Structure 1
Amino acid sequence: MTHNEFLSFETGQASDVGLRREVNEDGFLSSPESGLWLVADGMGGHAAGDFASQTIVRELVSIGRPGSSDDLRARFLERLSRANLVILEHANLLGRGTIGSTVVSLLVHGRDYACIWSGDSRAYLFRAGRLTQVTRDHTEVRALLDAGTITEEEARHWPRKNVITRAIGVTDTPECDTVEGQAREGDTFLLCSDGLTEHLEDHEIADLLGEALPPQAICDALVRETLARGARDNVTVVVMRCGPAPEGDLDRVYAGEMDELQ
């Protein structure tokens, strides 16, 4: 259990190559001390997709302890840009076409959170018994849905369902979207690669997140169920639950607020 000045964090993580792939091209990072969690899903085959996802993880490991929400985001984006350039250079060296990786991240400082993502790896928030998809897939099928070109029913059977429209390492600078909010005690965040959502529906994910289980047990159960359903792709999940900050930390926060008022 790790905490900052306002919340404590309990984290679980699990990743599996699945039943049809030989290499796990997914990567993940859980750094509660920094207030950062992420999942990356590489594309481009062995020696390419796994390189891309692990490059993102390697760059972000050094993020350190930020001084503010803005500082955390600046550190994150600077390192993500660095990873983007490394992946581009590696693709040029290989000469086999585009390689890259999706990324979905959760940044928390104090009670402020931000989800920053590129691609179809997802972030969910489970709050007060309700599951919400925080991110919006950067995929061809999502774009067609948003444009009203196809229906939800057609989208479920769309033949190019996994074609993504954004990823890290495919453009000169990262193309990401951001959603911000305020975290609360009891909130549970789930980050996952599409290897999970290919096999589990949102209501099934919600059922597991709603059980009184530690985050690690939830991660293990999600991966186990994905494997039981055939696991056509790599599958990676990170679950983070927000708890109350220890009283000593709250005392320091209140003292700081009183100092500012005086």
Structure 2
Amino acid sequence: MRPLNNVALPFESYGVSHKGCVRQINEDSYLMEPRSGLWVVADGMGGHDAGEVASATIIEHLATIGIASSAPDLRARFEDRLRKAHSDIRDISDQRGATIGSTVAALLVMDGKFACLWLGDSRVYLVRDGKLSQVSRDHTEVQELLDRGAITEAEARTWPRRNVITRAIGVSDDIAVDFRQGEIRPDDVFVLGTDGLTAHVTDAEIEASVASTMPQAACEDLLAKVLARGGTDNVTIVLVRIRGATDGASSEPLAGGR
């Protein structure tokens, strides 16, 4: 059987980013490069404009990824740019005399396979056959407590330090990226989101929105829910749908956002 690839199964993707209802600036950034098979969200931290600088530095480096020759080459290019961004952010931190950094959650797709790579609490979900699963696993203090059985799921939802992250780009001497990989299928939908999304919208609501409509409408519906519920943080959402053979003959990867 011929393998799926970036031409045979083009992508339809859409992204939105908003400062929310409380924050003065938006420290999130995102990137969609369907021709490269790369989508990214990043949530900066550090106060004032420092978080914005950190997340933007990641995106600027990853935007140079180009067209890879294979899935392993794509991942190698991604990790190379991420290390360079980490180094630059560390230099900026030294110049400012303050620690700045950013989470990152990325989707890479090539040759019928996907890889999700992340640090921090920005997430990647997969909606397959109408059912949502969380691909990434939060690098947070509360997740570590859950993993050890020190607290329950109910306690985690109201834990006072639930937003304390344990890994990020630019914060420590080195970076430790987690990843998961698998095979893509027609009509798979990947959802990348910063914690401003998951703070206000449940997994069930994400599943329902994504399963019932196209990426642009789903993004705008989820953003509207976040803002209607107070939008206490910046929020960024990127949806990527693997288009099936019945969607038409075009081989162009479609993308949009705001």
Q: Structure 2-normalised TM-score?
A: 0.92
Which position in structure 2 is the counterpart of 1:153? Answer: 154
Q: Which amino acid aligns with 1:115?
A: C
Match status 1:49 vs 2:45 = no
Conserved in 2, the CA contact under 8 Å of 1:7 and 1:110? Answer: no
Which position in structure 2 is the counterpart of 1:67? Answer: 69
Distance 2:52 2:130 in 1: 35
Residue 248 to residue 14, structure 1, CA distance change in 2 (3 Å): closer
Task: String of CA shifts for 1:160-192, please: whole Å, max 9, x gaps.
Answer: 010000000012222210000101001000000
Aligned Cα RMSD in Å?
A: 1.4
**Alpha-carbon shift at residue 124 of structure 1 (Å):** 0.2
Conserved in 1, the CA contact under 8 Å of 2:116 and 2:181? Answer: yes
Partner of 2:169, secondary structure, is coil
Which position in structure 2 is the counterpart of 1:95? Answer: 97
Which position in structure 1 is the counterpart of 2:256? Answer: none
Q: Which amino acid aligns with 1:20?
A: V
Task: String of CA shifts for 1:61-99, please: whole Å, max 9, x gaps.
Answer: 010001100000000000000000000000000012x11
Distance 2:9 2:173 in 1: 37
Q: Which amino acid aligns with 1:182?
A: E
Which position in structure 2 is the counterpart of 1:202? Answer: 203
Residue 247 to residue 199, structure 1, CA distance change in 2 (3 Å): closer
Partner of 1:28, secondary structure, is strand
Task: String of CA shifts for 1:106-130, please: whole Å, max 9, x gaps.
Answer: 0000211000000000000000011
Conserved in 1, the CA contact under 8 Å of 2:22 and 2:231? Answer: yes
Which position in structure 2 is the counterpart of 1:113? Answer: 114
Conserved in 2, the CA contact under 8 Å of 1:44 and 1:99? Answer: yes
Distance 1:175 1:195 in 2: 23
Report the more deviating stretch, 164-173 or 116-125: 164-173
**Alpha-carbon shift at residue 248 of structure 1 (Å):** 9.6
Match status 1:21 vs 2:31 = no
What does 1:123-138 correspond to in 2, within 5 Å? 123-138=124-139
- Residue segments in structure 2 that go unaligned for 5+ positions in a row: 252-258
Distance 1:172 1:157 in 2: 31
Match status 1:229 vs 2:207 = no
Distance 2:96 2:71 in 1: 37
Number of equivalences: 245
Report the more deviating stretch, 57-66 or 170-179: 170-179
Q: Which amino acid aligns with 2:225?
A: E
**Alpha-carbon shift at residue 247 of structure 1 (Å):** 6.8
Distance 1:107 1:77 in 2: 11
Conserved in 2, the CA contact under 8 Å of 1:6 and 1:111? Answer: no
Conserved in 1, the CA contact under 8 Å of 2:27 and 2:49? Answer: no
Partner of 1:172, secondary structure, is coil
What does 1:186-197 correspond to in 2, within 5 Å? 186-197=187-198
Partner of 2:47, secondary structure, is coil
Partner of 1:137, secondary structure, is coil
Partner of 1:179, secondary structure, is strand
Residue 206 to residue 47, structure 1, CA distance change in 2 (3 Å): same
Distance 1:116 1:4 in 2: 19
Conserved in 2, the CA contact under 8 Å of 1:80 and 1:174? Answer: no
What does 1:219-258 correspond to in 2, within 5 Å? 219-244=219-244
Report the more deviating stretch, 217-226 or 32-41: 217-226
Identity of aligned residues (%): 52
